Amino acid sequence: TYHVMDVWLDNKTYPIVCAQIGVAIIYKVKRGKYRPLKEFCKNYNLIAFPKKIETADINVISNAIKNNFKRFDFSIIRYDISKVGEKDIKLLDLALAKIIGEMHKIEIETIDKMIQDNYLSEDELMIVDGSLMFGHQKIDPLNCAYYTTIFCK
């Protein structure tokens, strides 16, 4: 993640944050050899704006970025600022939390798709490396295979 800039609105600054998030699934071919399951390997570029900024203004900024950086494909996400003022919550932390939430969402979607496509069974080992958390999702990855191992940084 990268704190790109601040926007000044109503005598307050609001951070704009860029991030690249992704998910990659690899499988073991033989001892020491691994290959990606390409249909499950995805990267996303995000720009997080506070909800305080009007949609029309975000569209102007978004179009300027698209026109000046044609190779840069990105999605706009918006973070909620309503919790500012509660228990030392900082705006930058809210932007980062939204980005992490998006990361968790694509990780859970990937695991769900792997289950639907029968890539996971009770005979297989799954190692999750990264910041994946199992909070408010519709599936429980710990129950999707009997031999699931989780490693979190």
pTM for the full model?
0.74
What's residue 102's pLDDT? 92
Q: Report whether 17 contacts 4 (CB < 8 A).
A: yes
Tell me, what amino acid is at 105? K
Rounded to whole angstroms, the Cα distance separating 68 from 63 reads: 9
Task: Give the per-residue SS3 of the chain.
Answer: CEEEEEEEECCEEEEEEEEEEEECCEEEEECCEEEECHHHCEEEEEEEEECCCCHHHHHHHHHHHHHHCCCCCCEEEEECCCCCCCCCCCHHHHHHHHHHHHHHHHHHHHHHHHHHCCCCCCCCEEEEEECCCCCCCCCCHHHCCCEEEEEEC
Q: Which residue has the tokens 């860029």?
A: 18
Q: How high is the mean pLDDT in each 10-residue block of the chain (153 residues)? A: 88 91 84 85 92 92 86 89 75 90 88 84 64 46 38 33
Q: What local confidence, expressed as pLDDT, does residue 98 receive?
A: 93
pLDDT for res 148 = 35
Contact 79, 63 (CB under 8 A): no
Which pLDDT score is estimated for 150?
37
pLDDT value for 142:
45
> Which pLDDT score is estimated for 18?
93
Q: What torsion, rounded to 10 degrees, do the Cα atoms 127, 132, 136, 138 define?
A: -30
pLDDT at 9: 87
Residue 126's nearest CA partner among 42, 44, 23, 43 is 23
Q: What is the pLDDT of residue 111?
A: 85
